[in-house]
Chains A and B, each alone.
Chain A
Amino acid sequence: ELKVEQNPLFLSMQEGKNYTIYCNYSTTSDRLYWYRQDPGKSLESLFVLLSNGAVKQEGRLMASLDTKARLSTLHITAAVHDLSATYFCAVGYQYNFNKFYFGSGTKLNVKP
């Protein structure tokens, strides 16, 4: 079974600051996904990373994947209050491509 660890689990930061969320996974995979969830809502797809060294950026968020280190990062630049949400990474399981394994989520609170 593939294990996915995110850290930190909770992150409180001031507007305008930068921070990084980390997603480590336990076995080989070349597919990693980032999602955003607002309270009581569903998950919204943010990024799909499909190869080693992949980097995707959208607004103040940038995601990267290092398959050798089994690590993905979600970097937040100059945070704004609207980014407050819970962020999940999900890893595709190479032995069963239909199965994604999710991290526990990082709850981000950006204070004005």
Chain B
Amino acid sequence: DGGITQSPKYLFRKEGQNVTLSCEQNLNHDAMYWYRQDPGQGLRLIYYSQIVNDFQKGDIAEGYSVSREKKESFPLTVTSAQKNPTAFYLCASSIGAGRYTNYGYTFGSGTRLTVV
């Protein structure tokens, strides 16, 4: 079955450490996205990518970095510059970018990141 796989499900980060969250999809979707969800709040866009080797900052990109070397993969690195990284991180993909996102997103199962 096609879908989006995020790993790990739980991740603990020490102060000053960089960590990378994995996101892989086998839906042949062009566009991929990273969102952050804080308790009791909606989702905020961190980064998105419409095509391989291209990505754009979302609304809260500071302290995060991404790469899109393959269509299937869009890993997110949470750097030490992100001062409050504890949150639930969701990866999503859509069948196309721009006007073609009529089907909305397919979401992964999420990664819960905690600073220890």
Contacts and interface: CB of A to CB of B under 8 A. Distances in A.
Q: Is the interface of A mostly helix, strand, loop or mixed?
A: strand
B45 interface: yes
Interface string A28-69: 000101010000111111001010000000000000000000
Nearest to A44: B107
B2 interface: no
A104 B41 contact: yes
A88 B108 CA distance: 16
Task: Point out which of B42, B97, B109, B110 has the most chain A C-beta atoms below 10 A from its C-beta.
Answer: B42
Contacts of A43: 43, 90, 105, 107
A41 to B, nearest CB: 7
Contacts of B101: 31, 92, 97-98
Interface residues of A, number: 24
A25 interface: no
Contact of B110 (A1, A42, A44, A92): A42
B43 A88 contact: yes
A81 interface: no
A42 B105 CA distance: 12
Contacts of A42: 90, 107-110
B77 to A, nearest CB: 21
B50 interface: yes
Contacts of A90: 43, 104
Interface of A: 1, 4, 31, 33, 35, 40-45, 48, 50, 88, 90, 92, 97-100, 102-105
27 contacts: A31-B101, A33-B104, A33-B105, A41-B109, A42-B108, A43-B90, A48-B102, A48-B103, A50-B102, A88-B42, A97-B97, A97-B98, A97-B99, A97-B101, A98-B33, A98-B48, A98-B97, A98-B98, A98-B101, A99-B45, A99-B58, A100-B45, A100-B105, A102-B35, A102-B42, A104-B42, A105-B41
